[in-house]
Amino acid sequence: MSDLTTSAPAHERIGPIIERLRAAHPDAECALIHTNAYQLLMATILSAQCTDERVNQVTPILFAAYPMPADLLAAPREDVEAIIRPTGFFRQKARFLQEASHTLVHEFGGEVPAEVDELLRLAGVARKTANVVLGVWYNKAEGVVVDTHVKRLSGRLGLSNATTPEKIEVDLMQIVPRADWIDLSHLLIFHGRRVCAARKPNCAHCVLVELCPSAQV
C-alpha cells in the first residue's frame, strides 16, 4: 500500500499510478487493428469522433480495396465515402484520407514519415494522430496521446487542470517520465473503458482509489 495520499502532488503520485495501471491492464495497447504505418495512420484519422470498434469494422474493407496510399489516392471519392460512412463525418474524412495519401505519394515516396513535423503536414493529422503513429509504430515518444479517456482521467486523477488536449499533453509531459509517455496513454484509455467510465466510475473496484482525489468510496 502506498504511503502517498490523494492530496500529494501529481509528480509524486504519477509513478505509483503508472505502476498500478500496468499491473491492472497488462494487455493495454493500441486498439486500432493495423499491419503497417499507412494503415495505422488512416485508422487513426478515421477514429476521430468514432469508436475504435467501429473503425476496426471498416478498415479491413478499406485496406483490401486500397492497400497502398497510391491506391487510395486514385480511388473515386464516392467509393471511399461509401466504405467509411459508418465512422461518421465520412465526407470530411474521405477528403482527409485522400489528401493525406496525395502528400504521402508525392512528398514522401509513399512512406509514412517518422517525424512529428512531417506528419503534421498531412491532412487530418493533428498532434494526437501524430503521437499515435510515432509511439505505436515507430516507438518514438514525442508526446502523449490525449483522447477523451486520457482527458477525463487526467482531470479526475489531478494530473492536469487544463481543459484542452494540447495543454493537458504539456502538463503530462512535465510530470511523466519520457519512457512512460507511450504506455501512459494506453493505460489510461484501457482504465477509462474498463473502470473509470464517464458517467459512473467504478471507484469501489479501482486500483487507483488511494491515489485519486476524485475517488468516491
66-82 pLDDT, tens digit each: 999 999 999 999 999 99
- Model confidence at 1: pLDDT above 50: no
Number of other CB atoms surrounding residue 85 within 10 Å: 14
pTM of the model: 0.93
d(CA 39, CA 172): 28
**Chain position carrying cell 503534421:** 120
The pLDDT score that the predictor gives to residue 4 is: 75
The pLDDT score that the predictor gives to residue 217 is: 65
Average pLDDT value for residue range 142-166 = 97
The pLDDT score that the predictor gives to residue 7 is: 84
**Chain position carrying cell 504519477:** 14
d(CA 208, CA 215): 8
Residue among 52, 71, 140, 147 flagged as catalytic: 147
For residue 86, what pLDDT band results from cuts at 50, 70 and 90?
very high
Residue among 27, 79, 93, 128 flagged as catalytic: 128
Give all domains of the chain, ordered by start, each with its CATH number. 10-29+143-211 (1.10.1670.10), 37-137 (1.10.340.30)
Please check whether residue 144 is in contact with residue 165, taking contact to mean a CB–CB distance below 8 angstroms.
Answer: no
The pLDDT score that the predictor gives to residue 58 is: 98
Q: Note if 79 is an active site residue.
A: no
Q: What is the pLDDT of residues 44-53, one digit of tens each?
A: 999 999 999 9
Alpha carbon of residue 177 to chain centroid: 18
Average pLDDT value for residue range 169-196 = 98
d(CA 208, CA 195): 10
Q: Note if 167 is an active site residue.
A: no
The pLDDT score that the predictor gives to residue 46 is: 98
62-to-49, 67, 72, 99 alpha-carbon distances in Å: 18, 8, 9, 16
d(CA 107, CA 95): 18
- 33: Cβ contacts below 8 Å, ≥ 6 apart: 39, 43, 56, 59, 60
